[in-house]
Amino acid sequence: MMMCKGATRLMSLRQDRPLTLRQRLSLRFHLMMCDACTECNRQFDLLHEAGRRHTPELQADDAR
Ligand SMILES: [Zn+2]
């Protein structure tokens, strides 16, 4: 069973290139039972979307 560290790594990897089917499944499975990583995954998607449209403003994220 994948740990949060592994899940985060996959989320990061996914921004650069598509994951393999196996990686996608293990990530999805982890997200189903881990609220923290679900939220983290959402943040990754938001950042990725923002980065595609304009220069990311990383300073805006002072939550952690
Ligand atoms: Zn997790």
Residue-wise pLDDT tens digits, 2-57: 899 999 999 999 988 999 999 999 999 999 999 999 999 999 889 888 877 765 55
The answer to whether the predicted template modeling score (pTM) of the entire model surpasses 0.75 is no
More confident residue, 48 or 64: 48
Cα of 60 to ligand 1 centre, how many Å?
A: 24
Residue 56 CA, ligand 1 centroid: distance in Å: 25
Does pLDDT of 62 surpass 70? no
CB atoms within 10 A of CB 2: 15
pLDDT at 61 over 80: no
> What's the helix, strand, coil split of the chain in %, to 5?
75, 0, 25
Q: 61 C-alpha vs ligand 1 centroid, how far in Å? A: 20
Domain ranges of the chain: 4-54
Distance between CA atoms of residues 14 and 7, nearest Å: 11
